[in-house]
């Protein structure tokens, strides 16, 4: 199951009450090779390009993120292991492994781990801007504060389940890694035909285009960059084409 959540009047009203605005980072922070400790667990950057940033989040049992929104960013959340409840201001959904949600810009949301051993979640942010953050409520006293820095940054990667795709990926190359029994691949294909050859229709997988959009013949965007897409849904749509102007880079989970 992949849900989609769009902003509503509650989101607009609560944003209007906030004095805090999304902070613009004066200097771009390089999050490669480090882990950001959080009161609810930790997170780290797994992949980044000019379009998306892919993060891995670990939430301890019964821990939850703040109720926050990203005014300028779309967020896709995919459960890799465990179980979570993701809530907006007027609804909530429970997600198991290989399920998730696409959260539109400006939607206040929170994610709560419901797994005894904690939950691993992949977060895809579009566009890349870690300062684009407004917290509405927080159990750890971080309202009106920006993204973590200083003592929250750790370079001792051996303490964490850390993996990355920061090295250059060549044309028609596939890089594969494993996290919590989930295979994660980043594939760079010369065109859509070559990309489809890498997908097995018989097995459920989740795909995320990292630098292009799927459109139909009328030019309508069917799947956007940074979306999480079930392969069954992908193959159910006919006449899809891509408009990248460059090689296609895709994330495949499953």
Tokens linked to 221: 């965007």
Q: Read off the DSSP letter of residue 64.
A: B
Q: Which two tokens stand for residue 95?
A: 């997600």
Token reading at 213: 């959009």
Query: How confident is the model at residue 33, as a pLDDT?
Result: 95
DSSP secondary structure string for all residues of 111-144 = EEE--TT-EEEEEEEES--TT--EEEE-TTS-TT
CB-count burial class (<10 Å; 0-12, 13-18, 19+) for 238: exposed
pLDDT score for 54: 98
Assess whether the region 2-159 and the region 173-253 belong to the same CATH fold.
Answer: yes
Say whether pTM exceeds 0.85.
yes
- CB burial string 192-218: b at 16+ within 10 A, e below: eeebeeebeeeeebbbbbbbbbbbeee
Which pLDDT score is estimated for 16? 87
2-159 under CATH 2.40.50.180, yes or no:
no
Task: Report the pLDDT value the prediction gives residue 217, as an integer from 0 to 100.
Answer: 86
Domain boundaries, the chain: 2-159, 173-253
Cα–Cα distance measured from residue 90 to residue 10, given in angstroms and rounded to the nearest whole number: 8
Q: Closest by alpha carbon to 122, among 214, 171, 52?
A: 52
pLDDT, position 25? 52
CATH architecture of 173-253: Sandwich (2.60)
Contact of 120 with 42, CB cutoff 8 Å: no
SS3 147: coil
Q: What does each of the 254 residues of the chain score in pLDDT, given as a tens digit?
A: 899 999 999 999 988 887 555 455 555 779 999 999 999 999 999 999 999 999 999 999 999 999 999 999 999 999 999 999 999 999 999 999 999 999 999 999 999 999 999 999 999 999 999 989 999 998 988 887 778 878 889 999 999 989 999 998 988 889 999 988 889 999 999 888 888 888 866 577 999 999 999 999 888 999 999 999 999 899 888 888 887 777 899 999 98
What pLDDT does residue 27 have?
Answer: 58
Q: Quick count: other Cβ atoms within 10 Å of Cβ 237?
A: 12
């Amino acid at each position: 199951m992949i849900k989609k959540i769009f902003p509503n009047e509650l989101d607009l009203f609560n944003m209007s009450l906030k004095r805090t605005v999304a902070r613009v980072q004066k200097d771009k922070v390089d999050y490669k090779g480090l882990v950001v400790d959080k009161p609810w667990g930790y997170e780290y950057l797994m992949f980044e390009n000019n379009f998306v940033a892919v993060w891995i989040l670990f939430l301890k049992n019964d821990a939850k993120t703040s109720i926050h929104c990203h005014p300028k960013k779309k967020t896709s959340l995919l459960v890799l292991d465990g179980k979570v409840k993701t809530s907006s201001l007027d609804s909530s959904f429970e997600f198991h492994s290989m399920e998730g949600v696409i959260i539109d810009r400006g939607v206040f949301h929170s994610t709560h781990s419901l797994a005894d051993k904690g939950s691993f979640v992949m977060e895809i942010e579009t566009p890349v801007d870690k300062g684009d953050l407004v917290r509405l409520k927080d159990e750890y006293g971080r309202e009106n504060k920006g993204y973590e820095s200083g003592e929250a940054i750790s370079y001792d990667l051996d303490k964490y389940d850390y993996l990355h795709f920061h090295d250059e990926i060549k044309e028609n190359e596939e890089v594969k890694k494993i996290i919590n029994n989930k295979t994660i691949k980043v594939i760079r294909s010369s065109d859509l035909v070559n990309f489809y050859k890498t997908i097995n229709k018989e097995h459920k997988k989740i795909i995320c285009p990292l630098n292009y959009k799927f459109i139909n013949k009328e030019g309508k965007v069917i799947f956007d960059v940074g979306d999480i897409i079930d392969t069954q849904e992908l193959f159910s749509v006919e006449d899809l084409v891509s408009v990248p102007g460059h090689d296609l880079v895709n994330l495949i989970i499953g």
